[in-house]
Structure 1
Amino acid sequence: MATKTVLVLGATGGIGGEMARTLLARGWLVRALTRSGTPGLRDGIAWEPGDALVAEDVRRAAHGASLIVHAVNPPGYRHWQTLVLPMLANTLAAARTNGARVLLPGTVYNYGPDVFPFIAEDAPQAALTRKGAIRVAMERELEAAAARGDSPVLIVRAGDYFGPRAANNWFSQVLVKAGQAPRAIQYPGRAGVGHQWAYLPDVAQTMAQLVERDDLPDFARFHMDGHWDGDGTQMIAAIRRVLGAPDLPVKAFPWMLARLASPVVPLFRELMEMRYLWKEPVRLDNARLRATLGDEPHTPLDQAVRASLIGLGCLPATPLASGRAGVGEEFGTAP
């Protein structure tokens, strides 16, 4: 089989970087845009100078690519209203020129409570937030482009990301703090309310398996199940087991403080917008994905949590002392 080429936009981020590494390991030629780094070949990835906001940069970098991974967002939650759709337009133009498929990592905040708690791919998208409305507009643009025959499109949606190289998410910024051993777990959800998590290496493997199929329709949308925490306690328990700290305290996230600070702290403002996703169970239905792949890649929870804590600098890579229970026997092998 001929080697395929992919352009990854957002390769320095969590899902973009994971996709770049996963496709590289599967034999793809991987290119990525860099605005401030040094162009050239690093770790097997060909870094091209350019900006996702400059159409010519994207078109040039996408030359010969059969896939463009659109995993790029404006930094720091700023200027979404003015930057997100123009970046997508540049990706679609480059994809049309090269006959490439566009892969978009989807988000749960496209949806509102009208479709909770169990969400299929064709559920109505009635977003409650500014970012959610923009994500809905993105998916509409992609669906229209596929219908026109401009470019085939794949959207894969999953729960809240976590992983060893993902530092901008609820797991690494709230439950634990990247770079330090946890003294407590801070949990944003209500007691007894389920929550869906997605281990980034599993997400990337799922996406890679899908894009390598030759039977996908021009517009394909899939949901992942990932790790479903039915009552909000399973992720907490896994962190405690992996750390060997069964009595590690659990603290509630200070939503009131976040509300008071949100007018001046952009991160808190964005977290407040997502609060509704923690108030009631929200679960994606992966029946279509299972019918297509047979099953979805699924790393056991403790194994995924341990790799994440090590990668985030919250846990040493060396084995813990033998007197600390729960480590080493919980881990299996990912399919």
Structure 2
Amino acid sequence: MKQHIVLGATGALGMAIVQELISEGKQVKAVVRNKKKWTPSANKHLELLQMDICDTKSISAVIQPGAVVYHCANVPYQHWQNVLPCMLDTVLKACRGKGNVLVFPGNVYGYGPFQEVPAPEDHPKAAQTKKGRLRNALEEKLLQAHVRGDVSVVIPRFPDFFGPGVNNRLMGPIFTAAIKGKRTFWPGNADVDHDLIFIRDAARASILLGSEQTTHGQEWHVPGAGPLTGRQFVTNIANQAGTMAKVSVAGRTLLHLAAIFNAEIKEFVELLYEFEQPLVLDGKKFTQAFPDFRFTPHTEAIRQTIDWFRKQSQSTL
């Protein structure tokens, strides 16, 4: 049976991929930096491993020939420049010449402000931010490794995630506030279209793209169930939570003030353009290749996410 190795398995996408693979009866090695952050129960299909992903010797021992590797490991924005290149170099070295498939989930930072909406896979890589330029450099290194035959690479490209386990500085406050009926802040502009993908759909798409040899060496837009404005998204959350939506916009002035006291918000400000203009991906390539794939409707995805946040709130009482 083919082995699946998830790097960064305590992150929202990594954990969702692990859970989806286990539900399919696949054998999974979940690599984490801290086992204490792993919350799901033990499973006969799962081996949980704690290690530093920049440790070449350890990672090389874990990545066995022929395995599918999902590189979901991440760090806070302020550490990207130092840590992400190290992790990728280690993973590429560990995979070299072993017949592995490397799934590298991507985002839209590398495009810069969209020059075309919806944006296709051949959109110019015109990043104007340091994070976008770094992502482009990492992806170029991956695709070069694929061309050399070192490893088979596939890059699913996603918009922002939401769903169970997604409790970052964007989605955490939005769901928490909307569920309680409090004022909810959406960054940039609450009235432009914005793609959002349910985390479990992103996990299923990552596994699917990794399993099909015809997808390798390519980038794939996986946009989710359709664009919503920030106001529509928050209103949907509030309606399902039985509260009243109170949407306010966190613009540049407010975020610049908040950035004085918070390093992650300071890093986020350079990406605010993504929320000031429409952010919609062209997903025709993916839907034509996989016509049976069904995205979870936003209403159902939001319901499941509300349930998760409520359970988290109850567990801390």
Q: Quick check: 1:11–1:20 contact (8 Å CA) kept in 2? A: yes
Does residue 125 in structure 1 map to residue 125 in structure 2?
yes
> Which residue number corresponds to residue 90 of structure 1?
90
Question: Aligned partners of 1:178 and 1:134: how far apart in 2?
Answer: 33
Q: Deviations over 1:272-300 (max 9, x none)?
A: 12210011101111111012111543111
Q: For 1:114-153, what aligned pairs fall within 5 Å after superposition?
A: 115-153=115-153
CA distance in 2, matches of 1:138, 1:57: 22
Cα separation, 2, equivalents of 1:151 and 1:178: 44
Q: Could you say what secondary structure the match of 1:283 adopts?
A: coil
Provide the TM-score with structure 2 as the length reference. 0.90
CA–CA distance in structure 1, aligned partners of residues 74 and 128 of structure 2: 19
Q: Which residue of 2 aligns with 1:61?
A: 62
> In percent, how many aligned pairs have the same letter?
28
Cα distance, 1:111 vs structure 2? 0.9
Q: Which runs of 4+ in 1 moved over 4 A?
A: 314-317
Q: Is the 8 A contact 2:189 2:251 kept in 1?
A: no
* Structure 2 counterpart of 1:101: 101
Secondary structure of the structure 1 residue equivalent to 2:95: helix
The CA distance in 2 between the partners of 1:305 and 1:114, in whole Å, is: 27
- AA at the equivalent of 1:275: L
Larger mean CA deviation between 95-104 and 273-282 belongs to: 95-104
| CA positional deviation for 1:81 | 1.2
Letter paired with 2:95: A
Residues 234, 245 of structure 2: 8 Å contact kept: no
Quote the residue 2:263 is aligned against. Answer: 266
For residues 128-207 of structure 1, the aligned pairs below 5 Å read 128-168=128-168, 170-173=170-173, 175-177=174-176, 181-207=180-206
Q: Distance in 1 between matches of 2:309 and 2:178?
A: 6
Over 3 Å counting, the alpha-carbon distance change for 1:60 and 1:152 in structure 2 is: same
Residue 278 of structure 1: aligned partner: 275
Contact 1:177-1:314 within 8 A present in 2 as well:
no
Contact 1:6-1:65 within 8 A present in 2 as well: no
Over 3 Å counting, the alpha-carbon distance change for 1:107 and 1:17 in structure 2 is same
Query: Which residue identity lines up with residue 208 of structure 2 in the other structure?
Result: Q
Is 1:129–1:273's contact at 8 Å kept on the other side of the alignment?
A: yes
Higher helix share: 2
CA offsets per residue over residues 148-180 of structure 1, 9 Å max, x none? 01111011011110011111252223x233897
TM-score by length of 1: 0.85
Letter in 1 for 2:223: D
Moved more, 115-124 or 153-162: 115-124
Unpaired stretches in structure 2, ≥5 consecutive residues? none
What amino acid sits opposite 2:23 in the alignment?
A
Preserved contact between residue 178 and residue 312 of structure 1 (Cα < 8 Å): no
Contact 2:97–2:149 under 8 Å retained in 1: no
Q: Is the 8 A contact 1:163 1:307 kept in 2?
A: yes
Is the 2:181–2:238 contact (alpha carbons within 8 Å) kept by the matching residues of 1?
Answer: no
Partner of 1:26: 24
CA 1:25–1:85 in 2, change beyond 3 Å: closer, same or farther? Answer: same
Residues 11 and 17, structure 1, Cα contact 8 Å, conserved in 2: yes
CA contact (8 A) 1:193 1:280 kept: yes
Aligned to 2:291: 294
1:239 paired to 2:237: yes
* Residue identity opposite 2:8 in structure 1: G
1:260, 1:248 → 2: CA distance? Answer: 25
Report the AA paired with residue 308 of structure 2: G
